[in-house]
Amino acid sequence: MNSNRSIIPICAGLALLIGWAVAPLDRSIAERLGQNTEVETLRNLDSQFGQGLSVAILGGYRSVAANLVWLSMNQNWEQRDLAGTLGKLVFVTSIDPRPELFWLNGSRIIANDMPTWVIGIDNTDLHIESAEVRAISSQYANRALGFLEGSRVYHEQNPLIYIEEAMILWRKANDLEGAVGRFEQAIRAESPPFYAYRMYGELLVKLDRKEKALKLLETHYETLPEESIEAMKPVVADRIRNLRRELGH
Amino acid sequence: MLSWSISRVVTIGLNTFREAVRMKLFIAMTILAMCTLASSFLFREFNFGSSELKFIADFGFGGMTVFGSALAVIVTAQLFYGEIEHRTALTLLAKPIHRSEFVLGKFFGSWATVTCFLGMLSVCLVFVLWFRETSILEEYPDEFEGGRRIVQYGEIVWFSVVQVFRIGILCSVVILFSTYATSSLFAMVMGVLVWIVGQLQHIAIEARGVVDNLILKSVYAFASFALPNFHLFDVGEKLALGESLPSSVYLKLFVYAFLYSSFYLAVASASFNRREL
């Protein structure tokens, strides 16, 4: 039936030859697409989702695998399962650390939702006077900050991560100086959003550094585009006017 | 002596395409893949806001590669080996047709079928994303800077084009195995194996540089050089994160796919020429 068995070694040899010839092309594409982290990702994972997940990650379905774990985490979140949610948050960012949404939403869950689960009430702000509530809130704020620390490798210059850290330090850990530092990093990062300056200005006013806040907003105002709604130019102008009035300029 | 003719290749290709789109399997796979894409509407239950669009894009891209590759293997093996199995190839090759024309015609027919399938899925994915983006834009306008849409629909088209390149290699590999196989199952199994090994090939590339054992090194070198790296075509992860790729990457992927497909088809033609039918 077949008289072409002799072709196999020739075929294998030619296959090797073409593989060798296209290897530089292969390397250059893989480098541009950043496809050299899957094996490293796998080393950082535990095996709670089985071997299927490993194959999915290595086979190029890392995003899909991470999304599935995120959906599974959502169920734990709905049931207020603290350990399960925390475990899967770490897991999902280990599988795919590239999307910022996993880091941002994850840190919000840790800093905002988890303290309420521990305390057993829905609004910690109503009980903010309690030392116990403050301690729990601070503990989870630190956990959230530790979680965000893991994003540095992939999001070193992402202003959104710095803003998130600043907000946690400000609102949850009550570390206003720490928040100032993070806002500074956020506005120095690449393309910070307009609201970063407004929030930073608000924090400086709260710290009674109105001169600095005024200078920040005035410098920022010069760079704001007229046509952008997000820039909120009239709001910034209003704040500058108020600060000038308060400072007697 | 009979001269080689592109028109005969086109005729065989068109007939193969017509035969393929009438296959129940093709229709079933298309419906199944579209249902999978439509099921991504369920993500709205989670209230992810604009992040839901990334989830839909990821699932859409994943579905296109998995279903597209599966269809490429099955359809190509069925259409090529089926002709040999049912002896219809004998009738056809009794006419003045080169065997290489038959091989190429079958390849183009199968490739066009899967391209058509990917095209339909792309349209479906664009529709799902557009529909959800419009709804989310109304629900959470703050998440869209200046009210502008965030999905780059052009990138979805580029993703589909890259998958067409990948499918070209896979179809040519299955054709090669079909010219040698003694059953369509063998061609299919080998096609699936090449698909899996090709998808995981970057591990062999990495392992080659790490191990010291010469035998192991040779095995990894063989695996990394002898088979195409399908993982290179997984550009969806980048595109779903909102990144655009330079045209040079698409060009390189095209060259890569062209070289491998041409090689496999040349070997397939040589193998089929030597085959006793």
- Residue B25 CB: number of other CB atoms within 10 A? 13
Q: If contacts are CB pairs under 8 Å, which of residues 184-243 in chain B contact chain A? A: 196, 199-200, 202-203, 205-206, 222, 224-227, 229-232, 234-238, 240-241
Distance CA B263, CA B265 (A): 5
Looking at beta carbons, which residues of chain A come within 8 Å of B229?
A: 26, 30
- Let me know how many helices (H) and strands (E) chain B has, helices first: 11, 0
Distance CA B96, CA B107 (A): 19
Which of B196, B227, B241 is the closest to A98 by Cβ?
B241
B249 touches chain A (CB under 8 A): yes
A29 in Cβ contact with B249 (< 8 Å): yes
The token duo for B180 is: 């040698």
Amino acid at B202: H
B181: left (phi over 0), alpha (psi -120 to 50) or beta: beta
- Residue B76 CB: number of other CB atoms within 10 A? 32
Per-residue pLDDT for chain A (249 aa), expressed as one digit of tens each? 445 667 778 888 888 888 888 888 888 888 887 776 655 665 555 555 555 666 666 666 788 888 888 988 988 998 999 999 999 999 899 888 888 889 999 999 999 999 988 887 655 555 556 788 888 889 999 999 999 999 988 888 899 999 999 999 999 998 999 999 999 999 999 888 999 999 999 999 999 999 999 999 999 998 888 777 778 889 999 999 999 998 887
A48 Cβ contact list (under 8 Å, min separation 6): A87, A91
B62 Cβ contact list (under 8 Å, min separation 6): A61, A63, A64, B236
Predicted model pTM: 0.77
CB–CB contact B245 A32 (8 Å): yes
ipTM for the predicted complex comes to 0.74
The token duo for B77 is: 């093996």
Residue range B27-36, pLDDT digits in tens: 999 999 888 8
Residue range B99-137, pLDDT digits in tens: 999 999 999 999 999 999 999 999 999 999 999 888 888
A150 DSSP 8-state letter: T
pLDDT along chain B (277 residues), means of 10: 85 93 91 87 75 85 90 93 85 88 95 95 92 86 74 88 96 93 90 89 78 84 86 81 82 95 93 84
Q: What is the pLDDT of residue A1?
A: 44
Residue A160 vs residues A86, A148, A188, A229, B94: alpha-carbon distances, Å = 21, 11, 12, 19, 69
For tokens 């089926």, the residue is B82
